[in-house]
């Protein structure tokens, strides 16, 4: 974390002395790792509560069923985004009823309206840039502009630092970072279609090895089975290396809409975003950083 980022977030969090951190999905977990260190150093972290992917990744987190008892006047619920919007609605409403404050931190540039309900908006909402602020204001109404703060994306900033620190290089290699997007998500594309396109492009790039990195919420064996069916042994291979180490090592970073593509871009890597066939809903799931790099 840069000194400037540390200062900005420290000032923002100074008024919150008893913070309850709540995370579920990988993006929020990445922010939680940075926020927990910041809050602990200030003596403001009362507890980190997790469920789903976060609880599996960090077993030391407190069980979620203990969180409601800790939401009391004077405490602050700090939560990240998750795909189960109803769960976010539940806890922001519970914080309001309990007399606790709430802070929601975006780790992406989509689903601005879906995370919230009008009768239980968080007291403060953090977005990573001015573009995010504009879209959020359009989603929740200009009358709530006072709730919105723009602060550096802790997860991306930390990821860029780690990427730049890695020394391993794999010339002649491209990594493909998958999202768990299914046809049922109705974006106009899905991870299987993306891999089919990768296979087609691989045939025109015989000197390149494509390293396929499943999303943390995907089952590697399911992805492996699909890759095997493409019939390109040795050209497309699943990898289980650290994502940031892979980004640092390869020539190019391909993906769909993962935030890791933004980190790769900010670290100076060549990126490509694969959203072929997307519809309007699919376009809304992208972000302005990726649009110039669509293939």
pLDDT digits (tens, 9 = 90+) for 238-271: 999 999 999 999 999 999 999 999 999 999 999 9
Band the pLDDT of 56: cuts 50, 70, 90.
confident
pLDDT per position as a tens digit, 266-293: 999 999 999 999 999 999 889 899 999 9
pLDDT per position as a tens digit, 84-95: 999 999 999 999
Q: Based on the fold, state whether residues 248 and 288 are members of the same structural domain.
A: yes
**DSSP secondary structure, the chain, as one string:** --HHHHHHHHHHHTT--SEEEEE-SHHHHHHHHHHHHHHHHHT-EEEEEE-THHHHH-TTSEEGGGHHHH--TT-EEEEE--S-HHHHHHHHHHHHHHT-EEEEE-SSSS-TTTT--GGG--SEEEESSHHHHHHHHHHH-GGGGGGEEE---HHHHHHHHHHHH-----TTEEEEE-----GGG-SS--HHHHHHHHHHHHHT-TT-EEEEE--TTS-HHHHHHHHHHTT-TTTEEE--S-HHHHHHHSSEEEESS-HHHHHHHHTT-EEEE--TT--HHHHHTS-TTTGGGB-
**Domain boundary at 106, 127, 159, which?**
159
- Domain limits for position 254: 168-293
Q: Based on the fold, state whether residues 71 and 149 are members of the same structural domain.
A: yes
| 1 has a pLDDT exceeding 80 | no
Q: Based on the fold, state whether residues 153 and 73 are members of the same structural domain.
A: yes
Q: Based on the fold, state whether residues 226 and 141 are members of the same structural domain.
A: no
Q: Based on the fold, state whether residues 13 and 77 are members of the same structural domain.
A: yes
pLDDT (0 to 100) of residue 111: 85
Print burial letters for 134-155: b (CB count within 10 Å at least 16), e (below 16).
Answer: ebbbeebeeebeebbeebbbbb
Domain total for the chain? 2
Q: Based on the fold, state whether residues 80 and 149 are members of the same structural domain.
A: yes
pLDDT per position as a tens digit, 135-164: 999 999 999 999 999 999 998 999 999 999
Q: What's the CATH number where 99 sits?
A: 3.40.50.2000
Q: Based on the fold, state whether residues 63 and 25 are members of the same structural domain.
A: yes
**Domain boundary at 106, 135, 159, which?**
159
Q: Based on the fold, state whether residues 133 and 200 are members of the same structural domain.
A: no
Q: Based on the fold, state whether residues 144 and 278 are members of the same structural domain.
A: no
- 134/141 Cα distance (integer angstroms): 10
Q: What is the pTM of this model?
A: 0.86
Q: Based on the fold, state whether residues 127 and 203 are members of the same structural domain.
A: no
Q: Based on the fold, state whether residues 174 and 42 are members of the same structural domain.
A: no
Q: Based on the fold, state whether residues 96 and 185 are members of the same structural domain.
A: no
pLDDT per position as a tens digit, 6-47: 999 999 999 999 999 999 999 899 999 999 999 999 999 999
CB 255 within 8 A of CB 271: yes
**Domain boundary at 134, 159, 184, which?**
159
């Amino acid at each position: 974390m840069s000194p400037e980022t540390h200062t900005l977030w420290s000032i923002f969090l100074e008024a919150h002395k008893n913070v309850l951190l709540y995370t579920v999905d990988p993006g929020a977990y990445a922010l939680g790792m940075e926020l927990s260190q910041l809050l602990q150093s200030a003596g403001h972290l009362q507890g980190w509560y997790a469920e789903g992917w976060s609880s599996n990744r960090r077993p030391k987190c407190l069980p979620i069923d203990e969180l409601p008892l800790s939401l009391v006047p004077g405490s602050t619920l700090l939560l990240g985004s998750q795909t189960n919007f109803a769960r976010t609605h539940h806890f922001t409403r519970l914080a309001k009823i309990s007399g606790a404050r709430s802070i929601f931190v975006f780790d992406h540039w989509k689903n601005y309206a879906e995370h919230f309900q009008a009768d239980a908006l968080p007291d403060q909402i953090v977005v990573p840039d001015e573009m995010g602020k504009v879209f959020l204001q359009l989603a929740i109404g200009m009358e709530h502009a006072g709730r919105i703060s723009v602060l550096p994306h802790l997860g991306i900033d930390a990821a860029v630092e780690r990427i730049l620190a890695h020394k391993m290089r794999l010339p002649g290699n491209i990594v493909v970072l998958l999202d768990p997007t299914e046809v049922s998500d109705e974006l106009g594309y899905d991870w299987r279609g993306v891999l089919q396109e990768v296979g087609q492009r691989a045939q025109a790039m015989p000197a390149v090895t494509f390293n396929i990195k499943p999303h943390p919420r995907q089952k590697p064996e399911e992805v492996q089975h699909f890759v095997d069916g493409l019939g390109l042994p040795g050209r497309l291979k699943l990898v289980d290396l650290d994502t940031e180490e892979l980004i640092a090592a390869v020539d190019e970073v391909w993906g769909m809409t993962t935030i890791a593509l933004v980190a790769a871009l900010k670290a100076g890597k060549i990126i490509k975003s694969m959203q072929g066939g997307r519809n309007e809903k699919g376009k809304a799931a992208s972000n302005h950083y990726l649009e110039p790099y669509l293939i």
